[in-house]
Amino acid sequence: MRLRLPQLLALILTGLLVLAGCATIPRNSMVQQIEAESNQEESQPFRFDAQGPTEGSDARRIVEGFVEAGRSVLEDYALSREFMTPELGADWRGDSRTLIYEAMNVLTGADSNRYTIQLEISGEIDAMGVYTQEPEHSTRAVDVEVTKVEDQWRISKAPDGIMLESSSFSKIFSPQTIYFYDSSFNYLVPDVRWFTSGAGTTTSMVEALLAGPAPYLQNAVVSAFSPASTLVRSAVPVQDGVATVDLSAESIRESSDRAKQLMQQQLEQTLTALSSVSTVRMLQEETEVTLGAPAANFVTAQINPSTPDTLIAISNESLVYVKGRSIIPVGGVPDISAYHPRNPAMSAVGNRYAFLNGKSTQLMTINESGRVGLAATGGALIRPSIDVAGWTWTADNAAEHPLLVVPEDVAGQGEARPISVSWLEDTKVTSLSISRDGARALIVAEKNNESTVYIAGIVRDADGVPRGLSDEPMKVYPSVPVSTAVWDSDRSIIVAKLSTTEQVAAEQLTFEHGSERLGLLLGMTGITSGVGDLRPVYAETSEELYTRVGNSWHALDDYAKDVAYPG
């Protein structure tokens, strides 16, 4: 058969690429070629083309090859199974856990057929795509056993899951967002997960959504789908931009029109973020689900709603607004100078305020009518935060249970009440901020001179009263020292360690594990950021107020202190 010129050139180019790729491999290996594909959800999965075990390989090489084979997700990790005995290969699950490592070493165990894979890990992903970040230089040991099958070494015992070097992980997995509702169904709360790229992404996302929220959001967010909801089959096909979600009868049975409309909205907002999906069809056992006319009590849920662009601050012992480059006195409130006010907060909805007295022993609130009231007392209160439901949050580090919440209507709803959180015991809370959707608390707590950043779901009762925080908070590990943290969006935060004398490096962190250092600022005593588009970051020193321009700080002509966005 004669080859046409384009075909001949393609064959020559392919051969050159293979030779070039092999020339760069640092040691003898079964690896033949690595092709990095785009990590967009509609692309083909990352391909790691390789041979299985080489005949006569020693046991250590089989163990090393098994680790390397985790980069091939094709056919349910078929390559990894080639390194196993048939019995283990039949039961082993590659997708149950992924350990992301920075360094790896294989050690011989006490017995000649036992090996330990030592890893320095940066994170772990479970079967539902939940990413758990680990502190720097964390280690993990994975024990395996080997035996001979027809005179060839094979792995006979190994835990479920794969191990991926961090640079490979970023090619194989990509972050996707599934959504759950806050308790009022007015907001959609993001839950970022990590899935292998490729045609199965939509299926993974829907299965994770039906399984429920990540641990740090448990009991803090709700789903329109009942726990009994499942797919008819493990597939959510996408054709011409239409994703078809076929649910079991138990998923829809006896659901009201509003419930079905909430389901549809939850699916649409989750899946249409993918560039391959523009429309979602919801089926029940292959029959189109009838949504009915919009229910009277159905509202379109908001995602990442913007914070008002007017900030609250203190100037000359009075409340002032900061808007752009202007400092404006707050009208309609009485003289509060006798309290020597500091660290004010302002509601994102309505005109309510809170502030601490000069000694941080009293939390004062100002209601819609402009009336000042004593809301709470303590030995060492921190800056308050007002959630969208009207509750004012603070922490008293002199109390056994530091977290305090104060209702909007003290006369009708009672006085300040503590919230017991086991993982905050014996800590000093240095920063507390409630998300714009009211479903999550961002906390910095110090213990033994080490600070930890937590994000935890807020557990509320049927009336919206805060009753606690989730038992398993998400921990965030910045690369800079931390004493304070603020929300920058519904899925990003800014952290910094404030100081009156030192250069301060703030850092923006995203839930997708991106990070960016902000410009250094000498003597930074405060920083605030607002959720939404075009909300500048403000920082302050003891003498000047700054806004962030690019990655630099620009001083304003006028000065106000303790600046904060609403919330």
What pLDDT, on the 0 to 100 scale, is given for residue 36?
Answer: 31
Burial class (CB in 10 A: 0-12, 13-18, 19+), 332: exposed
Per-domain residue ranges of the chain: 196-302, 304-564
Q: Which residues contact 271 (CB under 8 A, 6 or more apart)?
A: 202, 205, 206, 236, 243, 245, 277, 280
What confidence category does residue 413 fall into, taking pLDDT thresholds of 50, 70 and 90?
Answer: low
What is the phi-psi region of residue 340: left when phi exceeds 0, alpha when psi lies from -120 to 50, beta otherwise? left
| Mean pLDDT for the stretch of residues 75-102 | 96
What is the phi-psi region of residue 302: left when phi exceeds 0, alpha when psi lies from -120 to 50, beta otherwise? beta
Task: Say how many residues make up the chain.
Answer: 567
What pLDDT, on the 0 to 100 scale, is given for residue 412?
Answer: 54
Contact 458, 436 (CB under 8 A): no
- Sort strands 97-108 and 162-165 into parallel, antiparallel or unpaired: parallel
pLDDT digits (tens, 9 = 90+) for 528-557: 999 987 789 999 999 999 999 988 999 999
Check pLDDT > 70 for residue 20: no
Contact 452, 442 (CB under 8 A): no
What pLDDT, on the 0 to 100 scale, is given for residue 405?
Answer: 96
> pTM here?
0.89
What pLDDT, on the 0 to 100 scale, is given for residue 385?
Answer: 98
Check pLDDT > 90 for residue 9: no
Residue type at position 67: V
pLDDT digits (tens, 9 = 90+) for 487-529: 999 999 999 999 999 999 999 999 999 999 999 999 999 999 9
Residue-averaged pLDDT of the chain: 90
Share of the chain above pLDDT 90, in %: 83
**Cα distance between residue 327 and residue 342, in whole Å:** 16
pLDDT digits (tens, 9 = 90+) for 359-376: 999 999 999 999 999 999
- Sort strands 173-181 and 353-356 into parallel, antiparallel or unpaired: unpaired
With H, G, I as helix, E, B as strand and everything else as coil, classify residue 168: helix
Q: Which residues contact 210 (CB under 8 A, 6 or more apart)?
A: 223, 225, 229, 230, 231, 251
What pLDDT, on the 0 to 100 scale, is given for residue 533?
Answer: 78
**Cα distance between residue 317 and residue 320, in whole Å:** 9
Bridge partners, 547 (sequence order): 538, 554
Quick one: angle between helices 59-69 and 74-81, nearest 10?
A: 170
Closest CA to 248 of 261, 258, 238, 263: 263
What confidence category does residue 47 fall into, taking pLDDT thresholds of 50, 70 and 90?
Answer: low
Contact 321, 327 (CB under 8 A): yes
Check pLDDT > 50 for residue 281: yes
Q: Domain 304-564: give its CATH code.
A: 2.120.10.30
Closest CA to 323 of 82, 81, 68, 538: 538
| Mean pLDDT for the stretch of residues 453-479 | 96
